[in-house]
């Protein structure tokens, strides 16, 4: 499959001019994002996520290594043409209207006037701001600014959309709307590279993720694989005390809340044996399910292990 983003040993070292101390913001990062993927880049504050994005956009040049976008060196202007970008904490001129801002930024990408007006109207409607096109941005809420910022990034129909905290300040309905918009782009084959602290949003939308910590990739893979558990959970009510004690010796973990027992077993065989015992004891089985971690749990374990 074609590669949309490829980083090979990418490193960026910043040097404090006064102390001479070096900070390795990005340290030997090697990463691939396939064309058409929905990819989430995760990491704690100061992990190097934003610096990595700046290296892709060539607003910062690498100390070592190479970044490519659709096979082109990211430092070449042609590599940036297929990219749409929404930065974190963006600042659009507040005296501009929504229509005026979209027209201005689209003109920078080389779109003709007729196409800019048509595309701007389409996107304002898509992000739910069709009635706000002639209103100055200074009157927009934070969530509205995020949505018009997304429209700005989409104006020239990019092949790669890089979004830095796109749901920041957006209410739950607005976040759902943004996911639906990005889902439509995914169906069209647009590659979406998402940088976010909202792990639940990333888990809902992204198929692949990488966790970066202290400038290095600590973990990467498909969300479904990283969150998949190896054990089984059995929940039951009306469990006699004697049976509960017996199952405690078999289970790897047990929790009881308001009469509902939750037993965690390391494998399917142990879970099936527990189900047989619960049925023989005339207990009410609430559920049997394979264990699964949340992306947040995976993130916390990965960062704490470093």
Clarify whether residues 221 and 235 are in a common domain: no
Clarify whether residues 59 and 12 are in a common domain: yes
**CATH label of the domain that carries residue 245:** 3.30.70.980
Among 225, 254, 280, the domain-final residue is: 225
Number of residues written out for the chain: 306
Cα-Cα-Cα-Cα torsion 132, 133, 136, 139, nearest 10 degrees, comes to: 20
Clarify whether residues 204 and 154 are in a common domain: yes
Residue 272 lies in a domain: yes
Residue 14 lies in a domain: yes
**pLDDT, position 301:** 86
Residue 127 lies in a domain: yes
- Sheet order of strands, 83-86 included: 83-86, 160-164, 191-195, 38-42, 208-213, 216-222
Clarify whether residues 74 and 185 are in a common domain: yes
Is the pTM higher than 0.85? The answer reads no
**CATH label of the domain that carries residue 188:** 3.40.50.300
Residue 304 lies in a domain: no
Clarify whether residues 105 and 180 are in a common domain: yes
Clarify whether residues 221 and 261 are in a common domain: no
Sort 12 into a burial class: Cβ within 10 Å, 0-12 / 13-18 / 19+.
buried
Q: How far apart are CA 92 and CA 109, in angstroms?
A: 16
Beta-strand relationship, 3-15 and 22-34: antiparallel
Residue 158 lies in a domain: yes
Say which DSSP state 136 is in: B
**pLDDT, position 198:** 85
Closest C-alpha to 135, from 178, 167, 94:
94
Among 198, 225, 252, the domain-final residue is: 225
Clarify whether residues 245 and 171 are in a common domain: no
Residue 37 lies in a domain: yes
Instruction: Collect contacts of 140-145 with beta carbons under 8 A, ≥24 apart.
Output: 140/98, 141/169, 142/168, 142/169, 142/170, 143/169, 143/170, 143/171, 143/174, 145/90, 145/92, 145/169
Neighbours of 158 (CB within 10 A): 19
Q: pLDDT digit of tens for each residue in the chain (306 aa)? A: 589 999 999 999 998 888 888 899 999 999 999 999 999 999 998 899 999 999 999 999 999 999 999 999 999 999 999 999 999 888 899 999 999 999 999 999 899 999 999 999 999 999 999 999 999 999 999 889 999 999 999 999 999 999 998 887 788 888 888 899 999 999 999 999 999 888 988 998 999 999 999 999 999 999 988 888 778 999 999 999 999 999 999 898 888 888 899 998 988 999 999 999 999 999 999 999 988 888 998 899 899 886
Clarify whether residues 74 and 163 are in a common domain: yes
Backbone phi, psi, residue 17, to 5°: -65, -20
Clarify whether residues 82 and 216 are in a common domain: yes
Clarify whether residues 271 and 205 are in a common domain: no
**pLDDT, position 293:** 82
Give the side-chain half-sphere CA count within 13 A for 270: 19
Query: What value, to the nearest 5°, has the Cα angle with vertex 216 and ends 222 and 63?
Result: 125
Clarify whether residues 179 and 244 are in a common domain: no
Residue 305 lies in a domain: no
Number of structural domains in the chain = 2
Among 176, 196, 225, the domain-final residue is: 225
Residue 27 lies in a domain: yes
**pLDDT, position 1:** 52
Q: How far apart are CA 85 and CA 152, in angstroms?
A: 8
Residues 6+ apart with CB under 8 A from 295: 42, 199, 200, 202, 203, 209, 223, 226, 227
The parent domain of residue 260 ranges over: 229-292
Clarify whether residues 21 and 132 are in a common domain: yes
């Amino acid at each position: 499959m074609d590669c949309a983003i490829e980083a090979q040993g990418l490193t960026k070292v910043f040097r404090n001019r006064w102390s001479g101390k070096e900070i390795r913001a990005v340290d030997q990062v090697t990463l691939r994002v396939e064309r058409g993927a929905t990819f989430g880049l995760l990491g704690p504050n100061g992990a190097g996520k934003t610096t990595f994005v700046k290296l892709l956009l060539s607003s910062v040049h690498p100390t070592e290594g190479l970044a490519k976008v659709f096979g082109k060196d990211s430092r070449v202007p042609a590599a940036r043409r297929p990219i749409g970008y929404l930065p974190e904490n963006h600042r659009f001129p507040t005296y501009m209207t929504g229509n005026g801002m979209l027209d201005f930024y689209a003109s920078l990408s080389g779109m003709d006037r007729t196409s800019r007006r048509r595309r701007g109207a389409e996107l304002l409607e898509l992000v739910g701001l069709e009635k706000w096109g002639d209103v100055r941005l200074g009157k927009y809420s934070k969530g509205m600014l995020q949505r018009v910022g997304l429209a700005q990034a989409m104006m020239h129909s990019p092949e790669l959309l890089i979004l830095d905290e796109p749901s920041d300040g957006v209410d739950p309905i607005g976040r759902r709307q943004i996911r639906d918009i990005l889902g439509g782009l995914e169906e069209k084959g647009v590659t979406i590279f998402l940088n976010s602290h909202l792990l639940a949003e990333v888990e809902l939308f992204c198929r692949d993720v990488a966790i970066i910590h202290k400038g290095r990739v600590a973990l990467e893979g498909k969300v479904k694989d990283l969150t998949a558990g190896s054990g089984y959970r059995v929940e039951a009510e009306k469990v006699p005390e004697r049976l509960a004690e017996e199952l405690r010796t078999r289970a790897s973990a047990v929790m009881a809340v308001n009469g509902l027992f939750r037993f965690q077993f390391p494998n399917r065989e142990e879970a099936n044996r527990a189900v047989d015992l619960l049925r023989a004891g005339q207990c009410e089985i609430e559920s049997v399910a394979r264990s699964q971690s949340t992306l947040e749990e995976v993130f916390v374990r990965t960062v704490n292990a470093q």
